[in-house]
A and B are shown apart, each in its own frame.
Chain A
Amino acid sequence: MLTAILVMTGIALVLGAALGFAAIFFKVEGDPLVDNIDAILPQTQCGQCGFPGCRPYAEAIANGEADINQCPPGGEEGIRHLADLLGREFKPLDEEHGVEKPKSVAVIDEQTCIGCTLCIQACPVDAIVGAAKQMHTIVEAECTGCELCIAPCPVDCITMEPLKETVKTWKWKYPVIQIKDVA
């Protein structure tokens, strides 16, 4: 009887110590779920989801405070990925937050720009170059197309232009199977 109790206590102590060490040595910093969700989001930082940036939205999804269908730039495919990751049902995009648009970049009409720097302050990824009373311009390669610079512009000189296909972005289309010749 005593031996049994001692053996059980011994095992309990050893396992407890092992678990304790594991908790210290293999501690995960932060919430990996948030990182995984954040990796799916398109990082436009546009705030259309109602949160100030992609990461806060990822945190809200992880905490169950937001739904997975609030990100228009991510589109249907983004929602599908999120649904896969979280094991939820796919839902169509919530139109309250916007609609999926073709990928665009902002373009400043340099004739109209007065150099007020308001758009520079609004840009979440520092993609606008310029200084007070100097013409501004947008670094196309860095622009995420979030449209946050459009509203602050006092002279409405910023427009969104869909990205044109170049040789670098061109891809073979999905093969279309012709079943019957159409006259």
Chain B
Amino acid sequence: MIAGLFRFKGGIKPETHKNASAGSPIQIAPLPKQLIVPLRQSPRATAECIVVPGQKVLKGERIGLPDSPLSTAVHAPTSGTVVEITPHAMAHASGLQTRCVVIEPDGDERWIDRPTLDYASASPKEALAWLRDHGIVGLGGATFPSHIKAGVDGGIETLILNGAECEPWITCDDRLMRERADGIVAGALILKHLTGAREIVFGVEDNKPQAIEALRTAIHGLSGDITVIPVPSLYPAGGEKQLIRVLTGVEIPHGKLGGDFGVQCFNVGTAYAVNRAINHGEPLVSRVMTVTGNVDKPGNFEVLIGTPVEALLALGQPKPDTGRILMGGPMMGFELPRLDVPATKATNCLIATSPTLFPPPPPEMNCIRCGACAVVCPAELQPFELYWFSRARNFGKAQEYHLFDCIECGCCSYVCPSQIRLVDYYRFAKGEIWAREREKSAADAARERFEFRNERQAREKREKAEKLAAKAAATKAKLAAAPTDAPAAVATDTPAGPDDAKRALIAAALERAKAQKAAVEPKNTDALTPEQAAQVAEADARRAAQAAPDTAADAPESN
């Protein structure tokens, strides 16, 4: 049981804007004309496609198999026909393409067989494989495979269910907790069983009283150590390390994870998906998303994975002055470069912007070294130093100051009086460092291959020389043993001398060649039909007739 709450350093309190969509119950989004399901699920993993164009698929049928430990299966979000498997722009700041399965829904939403799993009697291995095959990933935004997180070997004391939802505008987890608290709690119990945790703690920001109430009702009467704790609304209280800190007081140091300290954290949406997968046999084919911002009807929708963003946005009815579209929250989300991209398992929110809601950032000014960013940094870094180093491309130094502990929450950019978009610099620096690491490992691989090739060439040369020497020695020995046969005939008209051995070698080789020639017979005249035999005979006769006049003509000259 938790006695009191702790707090993490820093944090900000931005305007939440949650009221825009918090009152709207989850609606089922209508089926779009086409669903575009990306096979790439996260920077870490892709799935191997197992369907072909033209194939009929049922809702929940597997279309992608996990091809690496960090990968999970991908499923058809609805029943219909696979139209094509093609590169398509994806929901990524770059707007680049990735391989997607395009499915045309038939409108029936026919499910595939949905066997359930009795997790209490199943082995942990079986249950984890079940999660992987049902495509369960963390729905908080990072899409980390849940079977990896739930599969840490023991040592987990506390299971935290993250319902903080600290980013402004987003209300999908809030609605999920209010409406489907029972499913979340059931999922939490499964995760507790899998991780072997002793207690379950729900962390919900105190600006969601109805959600807290709903969860409390759902856990009422359940045995075991299970509590719902309201945490102060302070961005980014929903960050994993921050929430662990607030609830348990454990500060996760650099390079460690919650699991190392007996705490594992899952999003409430993930818990709900786990429940659907195990107790209902449904793979993860949909999730709840918030469509909000500069729209007439902000709301929360249960959306099939692969629904194009355009179709989703239309559900909210964007106002005419809508500008850029953000995916994710305003703090950590990114601007969509185009709108035909599909929603993914990571998409929790779409925000339509307008010049009044999101005024264009004022021009950046110089850093005045005020230190405001360091005060709010929840990762306890020195953002201004990181900014200087990243800006100067001094990446080594930036890493020394723990650039990679930055969670890109955007608090520093939010408070910067000079309007410096610090996070952009960190993202740039991180990208450059990763690119350098890739180049370095490519260069190392090339060096290794080059050295191996040189070694191989030297070895081949050596082996060839050895083989030749051995062969020469063997022939020499043979000749020495029988020096009187064939070579004698050749040797009659040549004086004996040091060349003898060589001549003998040549003679032996000639002898061998002759024998070989005699041994070789035409092979394609064995099984001939009578007509073919007649043709061959005719050709032979013609050839002989041709040859005869030639010799006749040659004869006088030769005489």
* Contact A43:B92 (CB < 8 A) given known A171-B431, A171-B432: no
With both chains docked as a complex, state the minimum distance between the C-beta of A16 and any C-beta of chain B, in angstroms. 40
Query: Please, how many residues of chain B have a CB less than 8 angstroms from a CB on the other chain?
Result: 32
Contact yes or no, B431 A172, CB < 8 A: yes
- When the two chains form the complex, which single residue of A125, A142, A172 contacts B424, counting CB atoms closer than 8 Å? A172
Contact yes or no, A170 B96, CB < 8 A: yes
- When the two chains form the complex, which single residue of A43, A44, A172 contacts B444, counting CB atoms closer than 8 Å? A43
Contact yes or no, A125 B432, CB < 8 A: no
Contact yes or no, A43 B443, CB < 8 A: yes
Those of A143-183 within 8 Å (CB) of chain B: 144, 165-175, 177-180
Residues of B within 8 A of A168 (CB): 43
Query: Please, how many residues of chain A have a CB less than 8 angstroms from a CB on the other chain?
Result: 30
Q: Check: B94 CB closer than 8 A to any chain A CB.
A: yes
Stretch at the interface among B67-75, B303-311, B447-455: B447-455
Contact yes or no, A167 B98, CB < 8 A: yes
Residues of A within 8 A of B444 (CB): 43
Q: Check: B504 CB closer than 8 A to any chain A CB.
A: no
Which residue in chain B gives the minimum CB-CB distance to A124? B450
Which residue in chain B gives the minimum CB-CB distance to A180? B363
* Contact A45:B363 (CB < 8 A) given known A124-B453, A171-B431, A173-B428: no
Q: Main SS of the interface on chain A?
A: loop
Q: Check: A94 CB closer than 8 A to any chain B CB.
A: no
Residues of B within 8 A of A115 (CB): none
Residues of A within 8 A of B90 (CB): 167
Contact yes or no, B431 A166, CB < 8 A: no
Q: Check: B541 CB closer than 8 A to any chain A CB.
A: no
Contact yes or no, B425 A175, CB < 8 A: yes
Q: Main SS of the interface on chain B?
A: helix
- When the two chains form the complex, which single residue of B93, B96, B442 contacts A165, counting CB atoms closer than 8 Å? B96
Q: Check: A67 CB closer than 8 A to any chain B CB.
A: no
**A173–B430 alpha-carbon span in the complex (Å):** 11
Contact yes or no, A167 B94, CB < 8 A: yes
Those of A12-40 within 8 Å (CB) of chain B: 38
- When the two chains form the complex, which single residue of B425, B435, B443, B449 contacts A171, counting CB atoms closer than 8 Å? B435
**A146–B438 alpha-carbon span in the complex (Å):** 18
* Contact A42:B443 (CB < 8 A) given known A169-B435, A179-B363: yes
**A127–B450 alpha-carbon span in the complex (Å):** 10
Which residue in chain A gives the minimum CB-CB distance to B94? A170
Residues of B within 8 A of A41 (CB): 443
Q: Check: B427 CB closer than 8 A to any chain A CB.
A: yes
Q: Check: B178 CB closer than 8 A to any chain A CB.
A: no
**A46–B434 alpha-carbon span in the complex (Å):** 25
Q: Check: B40 CB closer than 8 A to any chain A CB.
A: yes
As a 0/1 sequence over residues 55 to 82 of chain A, the CB contacts with chain B under 8 angstroms (1 = contact) are 1000000000000000000000000000
**A70–B449 alpha-carbon span in the complex (Å):** 23
Contact yes or no, B364 A177, CB < 8 A: yes
With both chains docked as a complex, state the minimum distance between the C-beta of A144 and any C-beta of chain B, in angstroms. 5
**A68–B291 alpha-carbon span in the complex (Å):** 57
Q: Check: B198 CB closer than 8 A to any chain A CB.
A: no
Contact yes or no, A167 B453, CB < 8 A: no
Residues of B within 8 A of A174 (CB): 428
Q: Shortest 4 CB-CB distances between A and B: which pairs?
A: A171-B431, A43-B443, A172-B427, A43-B446
Q: Offer 17 A-B interface pairs, CB within 8 angstroms, sorted by A.
A: A43-B443, A54-B450, A124-B450, A125-B449, A127-B449, A142-B446, A166-B96, A167-B98, A170-B431, A171-B434, A172-B424, A172-B428, A173-B428, A175-B421, A175-B425, A177-B364, A178-B363
Given known contacts A142-B446, A165-B94, what 19 new A-B pairs fall within 8 Å (CB)? Answer: A38-B447, A43-B447, A45-B446, A53-B450, A54-B447, A124-B450, A125-B446, A142-B449, A144-B442, A166-B96, A167-B90, A167-B94, A167-B98, A168-B43, A171-B432, A172-B424, A172-B431, A175-B421, A175-B424
